[in-house]
Amino acid sequence: DCPPLSSGLESQSMQPKPFHVLPQPTRGLAALTIAVGLFTALDGCAATNDNALRIGDSTITRDGVNYALHVPSNAASLHGPFGLLVVFGGYGDSKDYYQKGLAPMADDLDLVLVVPQMPWFADPGKVEATGVYKSLKGLRQEIENQFATDPHLAIVSGASAGGPSAWQLARRWAD
């Protein structure tokens, strides 16, 4: 399991512990070794948890489709229900661009934001649009189950080349 991202002092005794003083030239190397080890361990933890739905910004993969996801921080409480906002970006865009730009609005409006990586992005997705629609159906259900989103409040939007995809998904979800 990955360690929590905290100082760890909350559970430790504040009693001073004996330590060994290293010679001056060795101190920097020891600090560097500890820092590299810590970042490597945390990096491994981030990679292990990348596919989990969680509060805040994350990148997940479902059915071969990469998604940028933003879940408002108040989704951890019994606040809900939340709406779902799916955004299809335009030609040459990136999923991260929309995630960063729309996250504050999603927080204000209690929306879970989902941005699929499409084949026309600067870093092209590997799944064609019809595969993305199928993947989104399962992801939508997963988000509804975990974050109590309203199944009748799904907003679909598209910019430029993403417009036709938004229209297609809206037609599929119009129940």
100, pLDDT greater than 50: yes
* Model confidence, pTM: 0.71
User: What is the band of 106 on the pLDDT scale with cuts at 50, 70, 90?
Assistant: very high
Buried b (16+ CB within 10 A) or exposed e, 78-89: eeeebbbbbbbb
Beta bridge partners of 127: none
Chain mean pLDDT for the chain: 78
Cα–Cα distance measured from residue 134 to residue 114, given in angstroms and rounded to the nearest whole number: 14
Cα–Cα distance measured from residue 162 to residue 131, given in angstroms and rounded to the nearest whole number: 15
Task: Give pLDDT tens digits for 2-16.
Answer: 433 333 333 333 333
129-147 and 163-173 helices cross at what angle (nearest 10)? 60
Structure confidence at residue 30 (pLDDT): 36
Task: Give pLDDT tens digits for 31-62.
Answer: 333 333 333 333 444 333 468 999 999 999 99
- Angular region, 59: left φ>0, alpha ψ -120 to 50, beta rest: beta
Q: Which two tokens stand for residue 13?
A: 């005794």
Output phi, psi for 157, to 5 deg. -135, 155
Between residues 116 and 28, which one has the greater pLDDT?
116
Do residues 160 and 152 lie in contact, with contact meaning Cβ atoms separated by under 8 Å? no
E-strand ranges in the chain read: 56-62, 65-71, 82-88, 111-116, 149-158
Please report which helix (H) or strand (E) contains residue 45, including its range.
helix 24-49
Span of 13-17, 72-76, 106-110, 145-149 with lowest mean pLDDT: 13-17
Structure confidence at residue 74 (pLDDT): 87
